[in-house]
Amino acid sequence: LPPLLRGYLRLGAKVCGEPAHDPEFGVADFVALQGLHGANERYLERLRSASATLEAGASA
C-alpha cells in the first residue's frame, strides 16, 4: 500500500469504493472518510508530535 493510504487506514479511515485513475498526475485517487472521534488515538498523537517537531525545525 502507498504510505499515505496506509496512514489513513492506521487512523481508522474507511475507503469508499474503487480508486479512479487520474491521468493528469498518473495516479489513482480514492475517497476516504475519517472522523476524528473514531481515529486511532495513539497514531493521531504520533502524527501531532511529528508535526510539532517539523514546525519547530522550520522556525529555527
Which pLDDT tens digit goes with each residue over 4-60? Answer: 889 889 888 999 999 999 999 999 999 999 887 878 888 889 889 999 998 888 876
Distance of CA 7 to the CA centre of its chain: 5
Does a structural domain hold residue 38? Answer: yes
Q: Which residues contact 34 (CB under 8 A, 6 or more apart)?
A: 8, 11, 12, 13, 14
Does a structural domain hold residue 39? Answer: yes
3-state SS track over 19-46? CEEECCCCEEECCEECCHHHCCHHHHHH
How many domains does the chain fold into?
1
| Predicted pLDDT of residue 33 | 93
Does a structural domain hold residue 48? Answer: yes
First to last CA, the chain: 34
| Predicted pLDDT of residue 60 | 65
Whole-model pTM above 0.85? no
Does a structural domain hold residue 60? Answer: no
| Predicted pLDDT of residue 15 | 94
Domain extent, residue 8, equals 3-55
